[in-house]
A and B are shown apart, each in its own frame.
Chain A
Amino acid sequence: MMAFYFGKLVEIFPFFLKGLSMTVQVAFISLVTCTFIGFVLGIFRSGKNILIKRLIGVYVAFVRGTPFVVQIFIIFFILPEWGIQLEAFDAALLAMAIMGSAFICEIVAGGIESIPRGQWEAATSSGLSLVQQLRFVIVPQSMKVILPPLVGQYVLLIKDTSVISVIGVMELTRVGWLTVVRIPEGLMVFSLVGALYFVISYPLILLSNYLEKRMAV
């Protein structure tokens, strides 16, 4: 019986590859968006404007304090009540962007705050504008602190894309879930799903470990 189901599984393997490509697509789009928004928010969070800092703080606390599933349900079920209709795919991307930006914002803010005050003062007295100070002095130096946890966060975000299967986006976990109904070999089906996730995230974990060793001061 095992061999029979294994044959079946090989037969529908292209289906899994489709799921994998969907996962990669969602992960890629949301990682790029999150990195961009996260950096902007992180720079503001380490800035001087108290009001903006507090607002970002509330947003980060909300995202970090609630499970990602609940956030997805809020976006997918509540926004329509307020008259905003979203496709499952768009809702998933929106949820990923909101969640990921908050985590990346914290990492970036931590990195920028690790730069000694003297660097800011030196940059100011060299006559650089605020944007130039950030662009040429502060951010390049803080990358050393930011990069290792950032790559680690990427791995977590890629793994979190599995949760968007709950609103019906056809990604890898959803494919596994649909397959297990037809091929009742849970161990086999989800080993395959797990192996495909492993292929994407393990290289990133190795990269994160390498960066951590390399950037250690």
Chain B
Amino acid sequence: MLADFNFRVIFEYLPFFLTGLKSTFLISIISIMLALVAGIIACACRISGIKSIKYPAIAYIEIIRSTPLLVQIYFLYFGLPTLGLRIPEIQTGILALMLNSGAYIAEIIRAGINSVDEGQIEAGISSGLNYFQRMRFIILPQAIGVTVPPLLGQAIVLVKDSALLSLISVMELTRCGQTMTSERFMPSEAFLTVAFFYMCIYFCLKALADWSQRKLIFREAY
């Protein structure tokens, strides 16, 4: 089946694939950072008692979670120009990834905050701590540990999701595979190499996620 698998062509295209890998890397890192900011803001709005910011946050999270990322990407890609905003594809893509992951991260952080036992909050109240002090000294230190492993899981999802940006012609890893297929007509070499690179990123992040799972979950430690 793979008898005529052509390694020579892969080596010839290796520098090309490495630029693709680099751009996937950069896109993912920038998007996850921005998504973290978006997620923290959305979560803060979601758990606040003020209705005028709580309901928009709920709407944002639920709409993002129940529509496919590809539709969101196309929505921005075809929609922003009709509003008169002409930004490069790569920025559209990062915006879409940020908005998408932001909603999931908001839910992850909310789950982390909810995982803190009710009794501890009551203890905080009776010690005379105000809302921000309770957040700062009781809830967040515990919530962060619980949140890190699923956040790394979300990072894995985001790296894979960034492959969809190839469909709006952002030059990243998957797009490199498509380009090589159209130039040389060698889909097995192209896409198996692409898959290999994604697997490398996946295993690194997976190892990190497993490690953080072992190290940071200390809920039982009292």
Binding site for B on A (CB under 8 A): 61-62, 64-71, 73-74, 77-78, 81-82, 155, 159-163, 165-166, 173, 176-177, 180, 184-187, 189-191, 193-194, 197-198, 201-202, 205
Contact = CB atoms under 8 A, between A and B. Distances in A.
Contact of B68 (A70, A160, A189): A160
The majority secondary structure among interface residues of chain A is helix
Given A176-B71, A186-B77, A186-B81, 4 more contacts: A64-B202, A67-B162, A70-B191, A190-B78
B70 A173 contact: yes
A176 B74 contact: yes
In the A-B complex, the 10 residue pairs with the smallest Cβ-Cβ separation, listed nearest first, are A186-B78, A65-B202, A67-B163, A77-B187, A162-B68, A186-B79, A190-B75, A187-B79, A159-B68, A67-B160
A197 B174 contact: no
Interface in B63-102: 63, 65-72, 74-75, 77-83
Contacts of A187: 75, 78-79, 82-83
A176 B73 CA distance: 12
Interface string B139-180: 000000000000000001000111110110000001001100
Contacts of A202: 62, 66
15 contacts: A65-B202, A67-B163, A68-B160, A69-B164, A70-B177, A73-B191, A78-B188, A159-B69, A163-B68, A186-B74, A186-B80, A190-B71, A190-B78, A194-B75, A202-B66
Nearest to B199: A65
Contact of A197 (B67, B188, B198, B202): B67
B194 A78 contact: no
A45 B63 CA distance: 35
A177 B174 contact: no
Contacts of A165: 70
A73 B78 contact: no
Contacts of B203: 61, 65
B192 interface: yes
A92 to B, nearest CB: 14
A191 B82 CA distance: 13
A139 B81 CA distance: 52
A205 B64 CA distance: 12
Contacts of A62: 195, 199
B181 interface: yes
A65 B164 CA distance: 15
Contact of B195 (A74, A82, A155): A74
